[in-house]
Amino acid sequence: MPLRPAKCYTHFTTPAYTRKEYIHGVPQPKITKFEMGNSHVNADTQVQLIVLEAGQIRHNALEAARMAVNKYLTTKVGSNNFYFRIRTYPHQVLRENKMMAFAGADRLQDGMRQAFGKPIGTAAIVFPGHIVLEVKGKKQDLAHLKEAARRGGDKLPLPTRIVVKEINQ
């Protein structure tokens, strides 16, 4: 199995750590918008990006996928001819026990003593079959919709699959 980027945070073994009212110093997710394009588009085709493995997707990976999909669709299809939505939200708070890496650092740190860690970011927990993002558009733009979903899936740390569905009107 080839190594994928962000392998340190991709898999989870602990329970969810999501109660932000008790956690201080959680950075805001980098995702700026969850819906793009024209929400009233007369779409007849829907393309979904589905995750094949359980894991975590960091908020910066979701933002990179959002930017890639939105940029491609805006240039190829036009911003009024598609509706794009991210269907996951990064609730899981990620922690890191920061260690110093310079000369003399062994006198300043405690190693694994009280190694709970400080919040460094957020991630979305997904399971196999979970829809990460979806794009709606016209059937004549299906090749562009699939290519945009593929480009978005390349930014995610988990293997994905593209599913095309017809929308009944």
Tens digits of per-residue pLDDT, 19-32? 888 888 888 889 98
Range scoring the smallest mean pLDDT among 16-20, 60-64, 98-102, 105-109: 105-109
Q: Is the pLDDT of residue 107 over 70?
A: no
Q: Is the pLDDT of residue 3 over 80?
A: no
51 or 15, higher pLDDT: 51
Q: Is the pLDDT of residue 167 over 80?
A: yes
- pLDDT at site 49: 97
> Which amino acid appears at position 156 of this protein?
L
Please state, in angstroms and rounded to a whole number, the distance separating the CA atoms of residues 23 and 135: 34
Q: The whole model's pTM is what?
A: 0.86
Instruction: With CA atoms as reference, report the closest residue to 19 among 69, 77, 93.
Output: 93
- pLDDT at site 1: 44
144 or 108, higher pLDDT: 144
- pLDDT at site 5: 53
Instruction: With CA atoms as reference, report the closest residue to 126 among 162, 157, 165, 95.
Output: 157
Q: What is the mean pLDDT of residues 161-165?
A: 97
Mean pLDDT over each residue of the chain, to the nearest integer? 88
Helices marked H in the chain — which ranges?
7-10, 59-76, 142-154
The domain over range 7-11+29-94+118-164 is classified in CATH as 3.90.1170.10: yes
Residue 81 corresponds to which tokens in the numbers above? 């001819």
Residue 53's pLDDT band (cuts 50, 70, 90): very high
Residue 101 corresponds to which tokens in the numbers above? 């890496």
